[in-house]
Structure 1
Amino acid sequence: MFLTWAVVFLQHSAMAESSAAAVAAAGTAAPTVLDELLEITAQSLVRTEVAEHYEVIRELGRGKYGHVMLVTHRQRGTPMALKLLPKASTKLHTFLYEYCVALSLATHPAIIGMFGIAIESSQYYGFLYEPALHKDLISIIKPRDGIPEPAAKQCAKQLVSALEFIHSRGLVYRDVKPENVLLFDPECRRIKLTDFGLTRPKGTKLKLVAGVIPYTAPELSNTADAQGVPIDTSLDAWAFGVLLFCLLTGYFPWEQSLPEDPFFEDFMLWQETGLDEDLPRHWKRLTAEAALMLRSLLALDPAERGPVGGALRYVDRPWRLEDGAGEGAAAKP
């Protein structure tokens, strides 16, 4: 039985990797090639029960849509992370889309590596990727402190590279947050972006989101357009700016990107005037260079928002004042 499964896997993996390589080379044509990859994967989806081929070691994480287990292959002993999505609450196309996007981007060193194995059991859809045993970025952010500045800069450089790679493929990641940054060492020398369920081709129209969170760009928080807003890479720049603020302070800059939020209202005033005296209180721990970097990434007008790569101009400059005050921030990340 294992031989039959192995043959199916090798055939599926070869086809999937070939199509994934085509996506990586397609650039703005990626949506079309992704459709082809989805079709191939749907036809060659391996049907098996998890316990037949994998031994479950422990749970690595759990979220709204599924959970991730650390498993080893029963025959080879290979450690893997297995993401399981309940079939009862997950559409097949939704699962296949996330898997295929992840597979198409997995060649980048700061994006999670994939094993090219997608399975369907009686209760779950699942796929396997490289395990990150040092948890995620949220696990090392200390309230009122964040993470050490050198580690924050290591994160920034790797995330810029990963996001620019995604953008060059005609896609917008749309889920930049510490929980989706996996750690391969505690000093953040090697991190990887994961979870591509919200990634969409640039230009896809997105309607007003439910539940505005700190990472939600204001153009999505306030839109009244029933037809939706075409998504752009500026959405990732906004969320990246919020993430950097969290790394440097240990707090969100606001709870919601809405004028009703007093912390966001203070930020809007500073964005409008640019005056030092209008800098929000909980930003005063940042250097002038770091504040300038974030002011660009968090421009209220998406047309004026700086790209994620703009952060690289500041990595050789100090970002945090050691004696700065961090009190009065909006909320813990």
Structure 2
Amino acid sequence: MKGEATQPKTQTQGSAIKNDKPLKQVKQQSPLKHQVEPEVVWPFFAPQPALVNQMRFWDRKNCKNVYPSKEDLRFQAIMLRVGKKKKSTKGYFFKLSKDGTLSYYKKESDKVAKGYLQITMDYVAHLLEQKTKKDSLLVVQIEKYQGLSISIFDGKTQLTLEFFNHLKDYCIVSGMDKLYTQMELLGKGSFASVYKVKNLSNEQMYAAKTYFKETFEQSQHRSKFVLMIKNEIMVLRKVIHPGIIRLYDVIQEKEKLILIMELVSDGDLYSLIKEKKRIPEKPAAVMLKGVCEALHEMHINEFVHRDLKLENIMMKSRDQYIIKLVDFGFAEPINHKELVSKAGTPGYIPPEIFKLFPYTDKGDVFSVGVIFYSLISGISCFKGKNYQAVLEDNRKCEISFQKSVWDNISSECKHLLKKMLARKPADRYTCADVLKNEWILMHTSHEYEQQADSELERRNSYQTMKKSHYSHYNSVDGSQPDFNNDFSYHTNDLKSFYHRNSQKTVKTQRSIQSIKSNNDKMKQSMRNKSAHAKQQQFTNFKSQTLKHKNKSAIHSNTGEGGGDQKSVRWVDKKNKSDEPSFGDKKENDSVKTTISLKIFEDFEAINQTNVAFLKMSPILFNLQKKPDSDAKINEAIKKKKQQATHLMRVK
């Protein structure tokens, strides 16, 4: 302790402090901001009494500069306002911008507001139920000072609730029973109790961290009690990140204060390490990455957590190792000049705090290093029989990696922990340095690479089968193109990617060959069927032609078709067959007709009747080839017969 008494040289307020005084006297003469807070009474989130010059609700100066754009608006609608003096109801057009400015206009087309108000945490929005003769209405009452408020509502309850839901993000609200239904108790601490509640509008489940008036009045440090709550609200309102617990509403009632938060019910890291004893490197790297990403967001916004421990890191999902930072009561803005508050949990306090150096973002990194030292090894970083012994071991900061459990842990992991647990802040990593570390990237990026590989393989298999089905049309020799080259740029290691997909590629090539052989068989089968159908058509047509010839011979012998006509059978000298000379006919093109086909050897020897028939035959053939109905064809044939008969009679 004597060695520590010589360190307060770095304090900016240490001009009145002598270096030879012990640390206890330094603590007495080093005023902390928590101790100068004024005494507060319940409810501590309530409007202050209005002064004489604060009797106006709306600010009417510089109204010309208050005209939010459409992109900056959160809510706009025509609503009713109850006047402060006349208590009359009148409609105005209200606008609520994203920075919390509430303005109202006489008409929607107006560009100059009649008045505006900057909503802050000093104001309270009450959701009240006003009874009417027929029904009841919900009314939003905005209280600026004690006894100074206005009421805004609409005939439609849904619009009033929408306005209230936007407004409550900037101020304190009341009306818990109209917003949530309280369910079972989730946990209880020394200052607050946590309940499970259900939102009445969307029926979603949330966690309600509840502070009771009785607990507040029994506390000996009321100012610190209130300051912790205000710190938590301030940080959670300003820092929004997936790795940080979300604060939705702050509800002040007569007997309790309620913080509506995101529900996380999968336990904390303390329960996880009690169950698992120690965590493997890969899931530990995933969790460490999540913690440092959330802390990095806090540090960018110039806040430090100051109370990081196993119990203050909750698990959103144990299967996927998704974490949430909770309990921001000791959080404060970063102060690089002086130590604002000397507080923390023994075993997690950075060593520079014992020397009264400022608490910076690297102090949080030290606490995270202690947490993951315990997760990976299963043993505590600092030990002791009681809090005082742990605190003393924490002050010495002698961290060992010599136990046998560290023999099975990679040197990259131990190197990262040593940099996070460095005694001097100048030698210690920041959250940004941790996120860029090779050990973190090796374990976390590999997970994302596997997810990307699975998605790429799914797309790849579809594209491969699609290409393989048409590969014999696109390539000369019918070979399958190399599909892995199209996706090789998505991976860091091309050889490992080919190795993982080698068996799959062989199977795909086999499936390509089977598809090609099946296609060849199918084509050959279709050719055989087509040839058989053509042969059948030709056979049917040949039999029909012979049938017509036989009928023609019978007609000629009995004197039909011309008086002294001599019918002669025509023989082709080249083919010497009875096959027709005008090609094949389709099955659906055959038309039943009673006209006999007559063919002659000598065209000059035929009479006028046969000449008229031959002129008419091509027309009849063309009509038979058209895909028309039988009725039309028969009608056309009948018409042509009549024309031919008339021509014969005339001649």
Common fold by TM > 0.5? yes
Match of 1:179 in 2: 311
CA contact (8 A) 1:143 1:250 kept: no
- Is the aligned partner of 1:214 residue 2:315? no
Would you say 1:45 and 2:45 are equivalent positions? no
Structure ID, larger Rg: 2
Matched, 1:96 2:226: no
Corresponding letter in the other structure for 1:47? S
Residue identity opposite 1:112 in structure 2: I
Which stretch has the larger CA shift, 201-210 or 177-186? Answer: 201-210
1:56 partner amino acid: Q
Distance change (3 Å), C-alpha of 1:73 and 1:118 = same
Residues 1:307 and 2:430 are matched in the alignment: yes
CA-CA distance at 1:77 after TM superposition: 2.1
Q: For residue 285 of structure 1, report the CA deviation from its aligned partner.
A: 4.5
Q: For residue 242 of structure 2, what is the aligned residue in structure 1?
A: 109
Separation in structure 1 between the aligned mates of residue 201 and residue 392 of structure 2, nearest angstrom: 57
Distance 2:291 2:364 in 1: 11
What letter matches 2:185 in structure 1? E
1:127-166 maps to which residues of 2 (within 5 A)? Answer: 127-142=259-274, 145-166=277-298
Distance 1:284 1:84, change over 3 A: farther
Hey, what does 2:624 align to over in structure 1?
none
**Would you say 1:289 and 2:412 are equivalent positions?**
yes
CA distance in 2, matches of 1:169, 1:67: 29
Structure 1 residue 200: Cα displacement: 0.8
5+ long unaligned stretches in structure 1: 1-6, 8-13, 20-35, 271-277, 319-333
Q: Could you tell me which residue of structure 1 aligns to residue 364 of structure 2?
A: 236
The answer (yes or no) to whether the contact 2:210–2:259 under 8 Å persists in 1 is: yes
Task: Provide the residue aligned with 1:31 in structure 2.
Answer: none
Helix, strand or coil for the counterpart of 2:271? helix
For residues 36-88 of structure 1, give each alpha carbon's deviation from its aligned partner in whole angstroms, at most 9, with x where no partner exists: 9544579642234x556433222333333312211112454221111112341
Question: Counterpart of 1:80 in structure 2: which amino acid?
Answer: Y
Tell me what 2:578 maps to: none
Give distance in 2, aligned partners of 1:207 and 1:99. 18
For residue 18 of structure 1, the aligned residue among 99, 102, 111 is: 99
Distance 1:121 1:177 in 2: 31
Q: Per the alignment, do residues 62 and 255 of structure 1 end up closer, same or farther by CA in structure 2, a change over 3 Å counting?
A: farther
1:264-309 CA-partner distances (Å, limit 9, x unpaired): 86x6376xxxxxxx73556445322111111110111122211133
Paired residues of 2:231 and 2:332 also in contact (CA < 8 A): no
**1:205, 1:185 → 2: CA distance?**
36
Distance 1:219 1:170, change over 3 A: same
Match of 2:317, SS state, is: coil
| Equivalent-residue separation in structure 2 for 1:251 and 1:123 (angstroms) | 43
Q: Following TM superposition, by how much is the alpha carbon of 1:245 offset from its aligned partner in structure 2, in angstroms?
A: 1.0
Q: Partners of 2:202 and 2:212 in 1: how far apart?
A: 26
**Hey, what's the Cα distance between the residues in 2 that align with 1:37 and 1:146?**
46
- Please give the residue correspondences for 1:243-262 in structure 2 after superposition, counting only pairs within 5 Å: 243-255=371-383, 260-261=392-393
The answer for the alignment partner of 2:330 in structure 1 is 198
Local SS of the residue matching 2:398: helix
| Distance of aligned partners of 1:217 and 1:94 in 2 relative to their CA distance in 1, 3 Å threshold | closer
Shift of 1:102: 0.8
Number of equivalences: 272
Bigger shift: residues 60-69 or 245-254: 60-69
Deviation at 1:205, TM superposition (A): 2.1
Secondary structure at the aligned position of 2:187 is classed as strand
Look up the match of 2:255: 123
Query: Which of 65, 72, 79 does residue 205 from structure 2 map onto?
Result: 79
Letter in 2 for 1:290: C
Could you say what secondary structure the match of 2:327 adopts? coil
User: 1: CA distance between counterparts of 2:371 and 2:292?
Assistant: 12
SS at match of 1:102: helix
Letter paired with 2:420: L
Alignment CA distance shift 1:218-1:200 (3 Å): same
Residues of 2 paired with 1:124 and 1:246: CA distance?
37
CA distance in 1 between partners of 2:406 and 2:123 (Å)? 49
Tell me the SS of whatever aligns to 1:59.
strand
**Contact 2:346 2:390 survives alignment (8 Å):** no
Identify the residue that residue 69 of structure 1 maps to in structure 2.
195
1:315 aligned partner, one-letter code? I
Residues 219 and 302, structure 1, Cα contact 8 Å, conserved in 2: yes
Could you tell me how far 1:252 is from its partner in structure 2? 1.6
Post-superposition shift, 1:101? 1.2
Q: Once the two structures are superposed, what CA deviation does each residue of 1:199-244 show, in whole Å capped at 9, x if it has no partner?
A: 111116235437x511111122x33xxxx53210111010010111
Whether the 8 Å CA contact 1:111–1:162 is kept in 2: the answer is yes
Contact 1:136 1:179 in 2 (8 A): yes
- Change in Cα spacing, 1:260 to 1:134, as seen in structure 2 (3 Å) is closer
Amino acid at match of 1:296: K
Distance 1:246 1:315 in 2: 17
Q: Does the 8 Å contact 1:173/1:200 carry over to 2?
A: yes
Q: TM-score, normalized by length of structure 2?
A: 0.38
Residues 1:213 and 1:130: Cα distance change in structure 2 (over 3 Å):
same
Q: Which moved more, 1:172-181 or 1:139-148?
A: 139-148
Q: Compared with structure 1, are the counterparts of its residues 197 and 260 closer, same or farther at alpha carbon in structure 2 (3 Å cutoff)? A: closer
Q: CA deviation at 1:177?
A: 1.8
The Cα of 1:124 is off from its aligned counterpart by: 2.0
1:145 to 1:310, Cα distance in 2 relative to 1, 3 A = farther
Partners of 1:144 and 1:251 within 8 A in 2: no
Alpha carbons 2:181, 2:200 under 8 Å: kept: yes
Looking at structure 1, the residues matched to 276 and 198 of structure 2 have their Cα atoms a distance apart, in angstroms, of: 38
8 Å CA contact retained: 1:146, 1:247: yes
| Contact map agreement 2:351 2:395 (CA 8 A) in 1 | no
SS in 2 for 1:70: strand
Query: Following TM superposition, by how much is the alpha carbon of 1:316 offset from its aligned partner in structure 2, in angstroms?
Result: 4.4
Give the Cα–Cα distance (whole angstroms) in 2 for the partners of residues 118 and 60 of structure 1. Answer: 19
Q: For the structure 1 residues 231 and 129, does the alpha-carbon distance in structure 2 shift closer, same or farther, using more than 3 Å as the test?
A: same
Listed as ranges, the gaps of 5+ residues in structure 2 are 1-79, 81-95, 101-118, 126-143, 145-170, 444-651
- 2:343 is paired with a residue whose SS is coil
In structure 2, how many angstroms separate the alpha carbons of the residues matched to 1:281 and 1:55? Answer: 52
Aligned partner letter, 1:103: R
Report the Cα distance in structure 2 between the residues aligned to 1:207 and 1:149, rounded to whole angstroms: 35
What amino acid does structure 1 have at the position aligned with 2:419?
S
CA change 1:254–1:284 in 2 (3 A) is farther
2:186 pairs with 1:54:
no
Normalised by the size of structure 1, how large is the TM-score? 0.70
